[in-house]
């Protein structure tokens, strides 16, 4: 007489030993193998799900950090270009007027550059004749607006001016809106407007 697995589970060890060979419990090997197989598979499945989830989260966080770093680098680029443009425009020496004007032209593009290049010879001549020297220093700067490829930078500048035969003057405070555009790996000036 065969004994099923449930009944065999309730028999004591002594009763199981006394069973004849033909009375040994019948074990459903397919169900048992399936249970053992699932018992091994579910921790592996869970581990894989956790690894995929952690990998996805890490990738997402890494990409977010990368994009934030790119945005900050672009803001710094625009801000630095605006600050430098304000210094270039307000620091001109009568002895180095040609080089100072060339520096302004080298850091600008578009209509602003074209207009400045057209007026440059007369401007250089005036600076040299009057022996005028201006020295600018940036007192504050910040982004007013930003787009993916350009920005408006507000810059406050203190400008000290001296001319031959004229008493030294007090520094003047100027504010300007400098529009800069991304060009290759840098940024160049496209427009300058003095603001009250």
- Domains assigned to the chain: 78-195 (3.10.450.540)
Query: Which residues are bridge partners to 162 per DSSP?
Result: 133
Whole-structure pTM value: 0.68
Please give the residue that has the higher pLDDT: either 49 or 190: 190
Cα 128 versus chain centre, distance = 44
Residue 190: closest CA among 97, 103, 116:
116
Residue 108: closest CA among 142, 83, 85:
85
pLDDT at position 130, please? 87
Confidence of residue 8 (pLDDT cuts 50, 70, 90): very low
- Which structure tokens are listed for 21? 């060979």
pLDDT (tens digit, 9 = 90+) per residue, 134-169? 999 999 999 999 998 999 999 999 999 888 777 778
pLDDT (tens digit, 9 = 90+) per residue, 161-195? 888 777 778 899 999 999 999 998 889 999 999 99
Cα 160 versus chain centre, distance = 36
Pairing between strand 172-183 and 186-195?
A: antiparallel
Does position 5 have pLDDT exceeding 50, yes or no? no
Does position 37 have pLDDT exceeding 90, yes or no? no
Residue 165 CA: distances (Å) to CA of 159, 160, 162:
19, 16, 9
pLDDT (tens digit, 9 = 90+) per residue, 61-100? 888 888 888 888 999 999 999 999 999 999 999 899 999 9
Does position 25 have pLDDT exceeding 80, yes or no? no
pLDDT at position 54, please? 84
Please give the residue that has the higher pLDDT: either 126 or 41: 126
Does position 18 have pLDDT exceeding 60, yes or no? no
pLDDT at position 41, please? 77
Sheet holding 172-183, edge to edge: 133-146, 150-162, 172-183, 186-195
Does position 6 have pLDDT exceeding 50, yes or no? no
pLDDT at position 17, please? 58
SS3 164: coil
pLDDT at position 64, please? 82
pLDDT at position 143, please? 93
């Amino acid at each position: 007489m065969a004994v099923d697995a449930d009944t065999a589970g309730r028999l004591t060890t002594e009763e199981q030993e006394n069973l004849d060979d033909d009375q040994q419990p019948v074990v459903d090997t397919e169900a048992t193998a399936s249970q053992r197989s699932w018992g091994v598979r579910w921790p592996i499945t869970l581990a894989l799900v956790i690894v995929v989830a952690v990998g996805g989260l890490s990738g997402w966080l890494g990409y977010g950090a990368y994009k934030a770093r790119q945005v900050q680098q672009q803001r710094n680029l625009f801000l630095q270009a605006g600050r430098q443009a304000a210094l270039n425009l307000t620091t001109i020496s009568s002895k180095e007027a040609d080089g100072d004007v060339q520096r302004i032209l080298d850091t600008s593009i578009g209509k602003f550059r074209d207009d400045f290049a057209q007026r440059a010879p007369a401007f250089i001549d005036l600076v040299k004749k009057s022996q005028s020297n201006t020295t600018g220093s940036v007192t504050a700067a910040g982004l007013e607006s930003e787009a993916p490829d350009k920005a408006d930078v507000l810059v406050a500048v203190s400008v000290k001016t001296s001319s031959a035969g004229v008493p030294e003057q007090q520094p003047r405070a100027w504010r300007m809106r400098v529009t800069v555009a991304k060009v290759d790996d840098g940024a160049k000036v496209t427009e300058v407007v003095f603001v009250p």
